[in-house]
Amino acid sequence: MATFKDFRNNVKPNWCPGCGDFSIQAAIQRAAASVGLEPENLAVISGIGCSGRISGYINAYGLHGIHGRALPIAQGVKLANRELTVIASGGDGDGFAIGMGHTVHAIRRNLDITYIVMDNQIYGLTKGQTSPRSAEGFKTKSTPEGSIETTLSPLEIALSAGATFVAQSFSSDLKQLTSLIEQAMAHKGFSLINVFSPCVTFNKVNTYDWFKENIVNLNEFPDYDPSNRIAAMTKIMETGGMLTGLIYQNKERKSYEDMIVGFKEEALAHQSLDISRESFDKLVAEFK
């Protein structure tokens, strides 16, 4: 059985020292080993940004895609080989700005993949501009007088779009984050995990200390029911989206793959692509 170390490779991350993404990488590796995966059972698909590098730092199948397009690629990978555990990853700019359309439609489509967003409320790779997750009044190189735009709430959007698994964590809480990733991989459908991942270089507001002071852990509410969608939305709004833990899960809705008529249990990647002459001629005849 694979261990945490089996999901390591010899590529050294070049994130800034103290970046929250280090912990997210470790949580993915720990979760993969904990649920019994082997490196060849896992595919990590990433977009552009500091977070996009993560697919190259994990010993598994990996693809570093283009900005905002990790989810279409990840969905294609899953449809081609449904035997793979597929994780898509990206930053808040990648997933909630240029890729927001893909995010919403992936949520409602409900393919059996996990999407981990590394949310640092800023564009880090391009040296510190406002992202859709930046607070009103947030000052950056692109908003020197302070942002005048409303902060986007990905958790509210996910629930509104019909998400079947919504969770949020903090990169410093490795135990909780690892557990949530394990639960997300076991969930039959699309799983969104938004992770507060402080940018120590360009975001001097949303720091580790700031998050520790403002985060509300759902463990503090023993009666909280993550199967109650209305309660989930209420709790998100009550806490201003600053809660962590499993926020909502719908175990009843089928995954996209299970609703496709004629979609074989055998992965497409393992099926023969040969076609008989009779079948070929029948297909061609349809276009005459």
CATH of the domain at 164: 3.40.50.970
Q: Is 271 among the domain residues?
A: no
Q: Is 273 among the domain residues?
A: no
Q: Is 287 among the domain residues?
A: no
- Using a cut of 0.85, tell me whether the model's pTM lies above it: yes
Please give the average per-residue pLDDT across 186-207, as a whole number.
97
50-94 tens-digit pLDDT: 999 999 999 999 999 988 899 999 999 999 999 999 999 999 999
Question: Is-contact 2 42, C-beta < 8 A?
Answer: no
Q: Which ranges in the chain belong to alpha helices (H)?
A: 21-34, 70-80, 92-93, 100-109, 154-160, 174-186, 208-214, 229-238, 256-259, 277-285
Percentages helix, strand, coil for the chain (3-state, rounded to 5) are 40, 15, 45
Judged by DSSP in three states, 197 sits in coil
Residue 27, classified by CB atoms within 10 Å of its CB into exposed (0-12), middle (13-18) or buried (19+), is buried
pLDDT score at 268: 82
**CA-based nearest residue to 86, from 62, 68, 52, 56:** 62
pLDDT score at 263: 87
Q: Which residues contact 275 (CB under 8 A, 6 or more apart)?
A: none
pLDDT score at 185: 98
State which residues form the domain around 159.
4-263
pLDDT at 3 over 90: yes
Q: Is 90 among the domain residues?
A: yes
Percent of the chain surpassing pLDDT 70: 100
* 257 CB neighbour count, 10 Å cutoff: 16
Please give the average per-residue pLDDT across 264-272, as a whole number.
85
Q: Is 204 among the domain residues?
A: yes
**CA-based nearest residue to 111, from 165, 153, 34:** 165
Alpha carbon distance 264, 286 (integer Å): 24
Number of domains in the chain: 1
pLDDT at 288 over 90: no
112-141 tens-digit pLDDT: 999 999 999 999 888 899 999 999 999 998
Question: Is-contact 89 102, C-beta < 8 A?
Answer: no
Q: Is 272 among the domain residues?
A: no
**CA-based nearest residue to 31, from 7, 54, 52:** 7
Q: For residue 260, report the phi and psi dihedrals to the nearest 5 degrees.
A: -80, 120
Q: Is 279 among the domain residues?
A: no
Please give the average per-residue pLDDT across 2-20, as a whole number.
94
End-to-end CA distance of the chain: 55
Q: Within 13 Å of residue 2, how many CA atoms lie on the same side as its CB?
A: 21
Q: Is 231 among the domain residues?
A: yes
Alpha carbon distance 94, 118 (integer Å): 9
**CA-based nearest residue to 118, from 77, 162, 154, 156:** 154
237-255 tens-digit pLDDT: 999 999 999 999 999 999 9
